[in-house]
Structure formats: C-alpha cells, structure tokens
Structure 1
Amino acid sequence: MFNRRHFLRAAGASLAVSASGWLAPFANAAAADPKRKRSCILLWMNGGPSTIDLWDLKPGHENGGPFKEIQTNVPGMKISEHLPTLAKFGDKMAILRGMSTKEGDHERASFQMKTGQLPMGPINYPNIGSLISKEIGSSTAELPNFVSIASRRIFFLNDPASPGFLGPNYAPLMVGTSNAFNEPSGDKLWEQLKVENLERPKSVDAKHGDSRLSLLRDMQEDFAGGRPTAISDSHVAAYDRAARLMTSNAAEAFDMTKEKPADRDRYGKSLFGQGCLLARRLVEKGVPFVEVTMSGWDTHGNNFDFVKKNSEHLDKGWGQLMIDLKERGLLDSTLIVWMGEFGRTPRINGGNGRDHYPNAWATVLAGGGIKGGQVIGKTSKDGTTVEDRKTNTNDLLATVCGALGIDHEKQNMSNVGRPIRIVDKSAQPVTEVVS
C-alpha cells in the first residue's frame, strides 16, 4: 500500500501539503476500460477459515463437528447447512478440496497465498491483486485498478498488500478497516466504506481548488524533473489520477447512499456484507480487481459458534453478491475467489476449537471463467490428508490467471533486475475448472 510514509520518503517534506493525506492512496492506476472482459473479486477470509465446516464436511466422523451438509443445486455437491443461499449457486462454483500448502503462520501464509512466494530474500514480490490489475486494468480511467475493502491495516514485516517491485502505481486503494478477531456487525457499517477527504472543503470553491491542484502539480513536476526515478514519476501520475477522480462522476461508485436502504440490508448488517455491495458497485464501474476482507476466522476456541455466526454473514453478503451480479449480467464476466491463509485442524481441540492447518483444506472459485458445479480434490475420511488432486498455492493462482485470460508465466522485471513470472513456472493450473 502506498501511504504517507512512502510519500515523504519519495517526494520530500516540501511536498507534504494538505492534499497528500488523501492523494497518496491513489498511486495505483484507474480502470474502467469498456473493452475489458473480466473482473476479479477476492473474498479474503482473514485468520484462516475452518473449511472442514464449510466446504468439506465429515459427517459421522469424530472430526466432523455438529454441522450438517445440505445439497446444492448440483446433485451430489454438498456444503454446510449454514450456507443456504450459496447452495443455490453450486452450478456456478468449483470447490477445490485438495488444497495443501506449507505455511501455518498467519503472516507467512498470508504473504504466500497473496504472492505465491515465501517472504525471503531481496525480491519485493507483489500482491496478486497488483499483478492481475496490471494485466487487465487501464492507466487512463478514473477509478483505481485495485481496491481493497475492510482490510486489516497492520503492517507486517512482509506486507501481503504490497505492490512490491511493480511500484506504487499498482498499490491498492484501501477503503475501510477490519478487526482481526471478529467480523463487525450492526447498522450503518456502510458509512465506513468511503474514500476520505475526496471532496473539496466547503470553504474552497472550484476555481481556487483547481488553482491549488495546478500549483501542487507544478511543484511535483519540478521535484520529479530533478530526480527522474520511477517513484517520482509514479507520484506525478498519482496526483493526476486523483485530481481526475475528484472532478469525475466515477467517484459516486463509493457513495453507498446511492443504494436504497432495503438494497443495502439485503447484503446483511456486517462490514463484509456491505463490502460485497461496494465490490458489486465497483465492478459495475469497471474496476478490474476488488478485495473484500472478512475477519473473525481464527477460531482456536469455540470454533463452531464462531463459524456459524460468520457463515450467516458470509452467506448473506456473498450470496447477495452472486444474485446481483447474475441479475445484472455480470456474473459470467466476474471471477470470485474465496480463500484464506490456510484451513484449520480436523481434530477438535480442548477448547472446542480448531487450530492452524495448511496440510488439507479448501478454496472456492465461482463465476466468470469457471466451469461450475464441480468438486476437485478429495481429503481423507478424517480430513487430515489430501488423497486426490493435491493443489498448492501456485496451482491456485495460475488457475485464477487462466480464468481471467492471463498468461501466468508472463514476466515482470523485479527490483533486483531479474525477470519474475506472475506465477512460478512449476504451477500446474487446475485446467478442468477453467472455461
């Protein structure tokens, strides 16, 4: 993420004028290319969801827990009883039950799942959202290429939200924040999902606002002219795009008051649900990559109570997103990726919880570019191992790229002068789910 610290480092204190507080997040490019055929919404389950209680239940086994399975609209394809709306979209979903990854630490696993790499060495690996939005976005439109909604704003040593060597032009615009330990719920959470300081102060009219932006642009260009680097060039572009957004109708995509209260309520009174509504609004306006975070999945204790509550928010928000995208003719062009950093132990611990478990878990792909109605991979009866079609992180990310029409072996030049593939060449895409 491109924040004030990066701005001061690159541009110097002389440019830290009042506008820098809100202009910085717009360092990424805008994207509303009408010719773009695909969008991607990443539903990130922060904390590591218990997929054995959601997508790969083990009824009758001591590891299975108390939840029951229900039939989706695809014969033989069953999921949790607490996901009834999503069950109606089984034909649009591919459940990958063979996920097997290597990291059980939140920070390292989040970094790996979002970059395809382990956090080591001198290379600044970019987030998959930055990589994808670079490929299918546009640098000339008025909305960001990559918007991250309700993310957990804690800066790890290895930031999984970073654009890495792609640079600040491909950083996400961060909207709203989440709590790591629970999913916020209540009335008017949609008010948190706005771009701060987007409008001019009431005391500044349009003429004076334009003059100030012109002055700021001159100062920035003078600074960049004496220091011709990729970072300073990025700042010039960021100011131009931010100014364009200020005067554009495109910014209305972030104005949730444009939605009727009843329509907002259909997504549920949770931050995640309202984030799904905002994601739909952004995709409608042509934003190519949107991430929506849902927290509260780190269920070491009282797993089943938390998962049941979280499932209600998940089913309402994601389910209504699927309904709206389908009604608007956007579901077939919008890829939805559901995943967290790992799964949770099949064995139930003494606190009636489940612990971190990357060995055998599940992710879900839905919508555009996906052949739905499929379950790929199989875990053992006790859920501890993958018995068929083991899928690792890079396999998943390469599959996502394939569904979006992106060559996952395409290379970008890294910060150490070495070309790096979007996804490692060892990846084996799950081609049977790609349409």
Structure 2
Amino acid sequence: MFTRRQLLQSTSAGFGYLAFAGLSSLAAEKESLPSTNPLAPKKPHLQPRAKRVIFLCMQGGPSHVDTFDYKPQLEKDHGKAGKYGGRLLKSPWEFKQRGESGLWISDLFPKVASHADDMCLIRSMQCDQPVHTSAVTEMHTGTAQFIRPSLGAWTLYGLGSENESLPGFISLSPPAGTSRNYGNSFLPAIYGGTAVGGSGSRALARLGVGNGGLAVPDIQSSRMDTRQQRKQLDLIQSLNREKLRREEFAPGVEGVIESYELAFRMQDAMPKLMDVSDETQRTRDLYGIDNESTANFGKQCLLARRFAEAGVRFIEVSHGGWDQHTRLTTDHAARALGCDQPIAGLLQDLKERGLLEDTLVVWGGEFGRTPAAQGGDGRNHNNKGYTTWMAGGGVKGGYSYGETDEHGYEAIENQCHIHDWHATLLHLMGLDHERLTYRYAGRDFRLTDVHGSVATDILA
C-alpha cells in the first residue's frame, strides 16, 4: 500500500530514469551511426596487405628489354630480321643478376637494382592500346573508350582516407591534359584526385586541378583569421546547401561543398607537410634533392613518402619522356638518371621507417617497346608484352612473374592484362574487384568491367 507521497516520489524518479535512458539511447545510437564524412575509413572486403599505394608512373613507354626483361637471345640475334620487320637491336646496357634473389636488371637502373630482393617483376604485362594517350588512360581507368573513374578514385571510394585534413588521393605534378587519369568521372567528386603542382604550375606548392578531379580552391586570406574564415565559409555553404536542397540532382554543387570544406582543413596541414626544410641532409642526399639531374623527381618522391606517412591513401608521381623512337641510348639513359636515385631512396626510406611492409610501391609505363630497332637507335611501341614492378605492400620480394618470348615481343606465360593488374592492386589493398561497384546510369560499374583475375602467385 503506497501513500500519496511515496507514489509521487517513485513516479517522478521513474520519469527521470526514462529521460536518462532516452538520452543514453540517443547517444549510443549517434555513436553507432555511420560517419557522414564520405572520406571516413571504410572496412575492406578482405584482409589488406597494403594500406596505401605510391604509383611511380613512367609515361612514354620505357623499354622492358633495356631495363627489367633480360633477353640473351636478343643479344645473340642482334642485326637479324625481326619478326614484324626491322632489325633486332640488342640492349646497349649490360644485364646483371642482383641481390640474393638473382633478378636480372640492367645497368640502366643500378641504384634501384640494389633493392632487387624487395622487388616483384611482372614481365608479362599486356594492354589493348598501342597509342600513348589511350594506353595511359587504360592504365589509369581500365578503358580507353569512355571516361571512367581512375584507379586512385576507386581505391579512395572503397577504403576512405586516414587523414581528414588531407586529400585521400594526390597526383604530384601530373602532365598537362591528363586530368582524367586522376579523375572521379561518375563517382562523387570527393573521390577524385587532387593535383599538387603540375605542368605549367608556378610552384609545386600551388594546389588545384583541371577537369575530372576534386578542385581545391584557395580560401586563404591574409585579412581574416581562422574564425573569420570559418564564419564566411559557413555563409557560403548555407547558400550552396540551399541550392542543393532545391535541385534534385546537383553533383557539381556537392563537389563545391566538399572541396571548400577540404580546403579549409588543408590550409594548416598542407604547407607544413610540403615544407621539407626539416629533413636531414642524409635524407636529401638519399633522394638526390641537391643534385640538378634528380632534384625535381627526388623532391616529388620525398613528398610522396611524407604524404604516405601522413595517411594519404593513393599517391601518384609522374615521370615522363620515355618515348624514344630514336636516340634510345642517349635519352633512355637521361630519363633513368633522373629517377634511379630518387626511386632507390624512396624504397630505402620507406623500409627504414617500417612503412614499406604496408606501402605498395608500383612502377610502370603504359606499354613497353619493340625488340626491333626503329630509326637506327630507337624502338617502337609494344603493348603485347612489357614489364612493371611492385615492392612492399604484400608482394613477394626478389620474384619474377610471367615471361615474354625469347626476343621480348609478347607475353607467353602468365599473361597479366591491365584488368588483371588492377584486380591484383585492389586485392592487395583489401578490395574485391568484383564487389567494388558503383551504380550509375542503371548498371553497376567497376574498375575491371567484366574482366580481371588476381595474380595470386605474386602475393607474399
């Protein structure tokens, strides 16, 4: 039997309990809700072997038979008629077995060759395009016929970023006119690459991209502090969101909103990250930054390491000029001289910092070159068999996968088409290329379209 006082006391306490329980439930529900940040880290499909990728893109088509695909028969048959015309041309550079693994690598890359035991050579690459522009596009997007999301954009879409104050996908000094190679296409704009520097830019630290990537605006102002910038940005964003609310489909407006927010976060983090003045002289020497022939690419490789260390998911570094239809001996030597030391330095630096084991370093061009000579001292395009290599990130070190014929014309063993290469890269990052899809125009798209098999033999 309750008195009136006891009844009121117990009832009011019950209301308090219900209110507390409700608040606790809301808090728990809020914590369990997925992040609204599209770049928030996402759970991979598989156990990842690599957390990030550094793609060293050698545009122009470096010759596989002069770098990483040793062909003793080509040397023996020098001067004889080639399979498809022309005269066979032996390599001007000597090949040697390197490291404990004994991988055959030419003297064109002596410093990179010192890391042979960390490298996995894929000597059976193939793509569908024998022309530079379309082959480069296929290498980056899986197709040369349509505008599709790039490899980096797919990676960022599938995994998100590890640093909300930086872009998750950065392209360092991309050549002019290559924006689709780091673009998002029909993926949301936030997944497109951010170009840092670039052909024709006034300074490497200048940010922004052309069509196809995430445009990061310059919102810095010497007249406003951070609080005032935030207040101004909030006003602009409220107008953008109102426009977005009124329109049923406005991906451009969504991209503007996301790019302004990213720019606001980046203005503190990016300048510090790109200031290499705090690096030791040993590190500068490691990358060849103070040497005229290696300074440019060396700084880009050093920045790639700094970005990787800071949590950027996908970093591309471009190095062009490998298209030697003539003057192969002179110009291939010059191209290799400009990147041999920086690449070797990058591998050593990553290894010393414990980053190589979960950073996948990828080297390669859009295709290789023919065993037969062109223009006396040159080689033509060859998309039927060429070499790329990977290091770290869960691949076997000191390993050679696939093979071309005795002269290096085409892949004859364990052919690795560009779709297979993409499937393997995604697999190493913990993504199933068949499950990584995006619904657009009534169908599910993926990087590998309806093709691709993982090269499981190269997995460590």
TM (normalized to structure 2)? 0.79
- 1:95-132 superposed Cα distances (whole Å, 9 cap, x missing partner): 01111222111111111111122314xxx421011001
CA distance in 2, matches of 1:298, 1:113: 16
Match of 2:56 among 43, 46, 57: 43
Number of positions where the alignment pairs a residue of Structure 1 with one of Structure 2 = 393
**Counterpart of 1:195?**
207
CA distance in 1, matches of 2:237, 2:187: 23
Say if 2:257 is the partner of 1:236. Answer: yes
Q: Displacement of 1:199 after TM fit?
A: 7.3
**Counterpart of 2:246?**
226
Q: Displacement of 1:58 after TM fit?
A: 2.6
Q: Displacement of 1:337 after TM fit?
A: 1.2
- 1:180-239 superposed Cα distances (whole Å, 9 cap, x missing partner): xxxxxxxxx995245378573333334433332222222222222222435123322222
TM (normalized to structure 1)? 0.83
- 1:51-110 superposed Cα distances (whole Å, 9 cap, x missing partner): 211101334242322100122213331101132222222221110111122211111111
Query: After the TM superposition, which of the residue ranges 203-212 and 293-302 deviates more from structure 2?
Result: 203-212
Q: Which amino acid aligns with 1:224?
A: L
Q: Which amino acid aligns with 2:151?
A: I
CA distance in 2, matches of 1:92, 1:133: 26
- 1:261-310 superposed Cα distances (whole Å, 9 cap, x missing partner): 55334312342221111110000001110000001111112112111122
Match of 1:421 among 446, 449, 453: 446
Larger Rg: 2
**Counterpart of 2:110?**
84
Query: After the TM superposition, which of the residue ranges 58-67 and 371-380 deviates more from structure 2?
Result: 58-67
The answer to whether the Cα contact below 8 Å between 1:190 and 1:274 also exists between their aligned partners in 2 is no
2:181 aligned counterpart, secondary structure: coil
Match of 1:173 among 194, 211, 223: 194
CA distance in 1, matches of 2:320, 2:199: 7
Identity of matched residues, % = 31
1:160 aligned counterpart, secondary structure: helix
The answer to whether the Cα contact below 8 Å between 2:163 and 2:310 also exists between their aligned partners in 1 is no
The answer to whether the Cα contact below 8 Å between 1:410 and 1:422 also exists between their aligned partners in 2 is no
The answer to whether the Cα contact below 8 Å between 1:134 and 1:145 also exists between their aligned partners in 2 is no
Alignment of 1:281-430 (within 5 A): 281-430=306-455
The runs of 5 or more residues in structure 2 that have no matched partner are: 1-36, 79-88, 209-216, 289-293
Say if 2:189 is the partner of 1:163. Answer: no
The answer to whether the Cα contact below 8 Å between 1:411 and 1:419 also exists between their aligned partners in 2 is no
Q: Which amino acid aligns with 1:141?
A: E
- 1:308-365 superposed Cα distances (whole Å, 9 cap, x missing partner): 1221222111111001101110000000111111111111112411111101111111
CA distance in 2, matches of 1:243, 1:347: 54
CA distance in 2, matches of 1:104, 1:73: 34
Q: Displacement of 1:370 after TM fit?
A: 0.6
The answer to whether the Cα contact below 8 Å between 2:102 and 2:398 also exists between their aligned partners in 1 is no
Query: After the TM superposition, which of the residue ranges 264-273 and 332-341 deviates more from structure 2?
Result: 264-273
Say if 2:436 is the partner of 1:433. Answer: no
- Over the aligned positions, Cα root-mean-square deviation in angstroms equals 2.7
CA distance in 2, matches of 1:195, 1:94: 34
Alpha carbons of structure 1 residues 191 and 262: separation in structure 2 relative to 1, 3 Å: farther
The runs of 5 or more residues in structure 1 that have no matched partner are: 1-27, 180-188
Say if 2:90 is the partner of 1:64. Answer: yes
The answer to whether the Cα contact below 8 Å between 2:161 and 2:312 also exists between their aligned partners in 1 is no
Alpha carbons of structure 1 residues 225 and 78: separation in structure 2 relative to 1, 3 Å: same
Q: Displacement of 1:153 after TM fit?
A: 2.1
CA distance in 2, matches of 1:331, 1:139: 17
The answer to whether the Cα contact below 8 Å between 1:178 and 1:294 also exists between their aligned partners in 2 is no
Q: Displacement of 1:164 after TM fit?
A: 1.4
